[in-house]
């Protein structure tokens, strides 16, 4: 009998932390620190726009590493937009493959083109392993 399919929705985080693209990177860093997260979602400006995401890695590479001012750089200058999004009903195995192939650690989760969550590669792999009860190495 085939194993049941695990959907991304079962492993996603539904609490999303957002910031305006016009905010300063300094504000994004403060918000990440206050919330204990390493990424923030940038909301769509209208129905025809796409979601964005800014991560600690974006800030490290595009601001700190480039010797730019966190006080004078806007989030929109360093964010990733459009952000990668996966469907809430996607099989976790395929979401893991997709993120791995693209070298991305997180993706937004959508249902009917609406943002419903966020998932990290770690969440997917650990959740998959826990639900599949993978045998210990050597067994």
Render pLDDT for 46-85 as a digit per residue (tens, 0 to 9).
889 999 999 999 999 999 999 999 999 999 999 999 999 9
- Cα separation, 83 vs 33, whole angstroms: 22
Q: How distant, in Å, are the alpha carbons of 17, 56, 88, 90 from that of 112? A: 20, 29, 9, 13
- Confidence at 135, pLDDT banded by 50, 70, 90: low
- Look up the pTM and report it: 0.86
Which CATH code for domain 8-132?
3.10.580.10
pLDDT of residue 30: 98
Contact call for residues 51 and 16 (beta carbons, < 8 A) = no
């Amino acid at each position: 009998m085939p194993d049941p399919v695990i959907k991304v929705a079962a492993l996603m985080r539904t609490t999303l932390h957002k910031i305006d693209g016009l905010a300063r990177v300094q504000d994004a860093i403060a918000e990440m620190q206050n919330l204990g997260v390493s990424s923030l979602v940038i909301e769509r400006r209208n129905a025809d726009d796409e979601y964005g995401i800014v991560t600690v890695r974006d800030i490290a590479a595009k601001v700190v590493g480039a010797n730019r001012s966190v006080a004078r750089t806007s989030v929109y200058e360093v964010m990733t937009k459009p952000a990668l999004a996966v469907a809430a009903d996607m099989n976790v195995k395929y979401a893991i493959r997709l993120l791995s192939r693209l070298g991305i650690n997180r993706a937004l989760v959508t249902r009917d083109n609406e943002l419903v969550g966020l998932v990290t590669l770690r969440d997917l792999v650990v959740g998959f392993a826990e639900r599949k009860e993978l045998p210990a190495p050597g067994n």
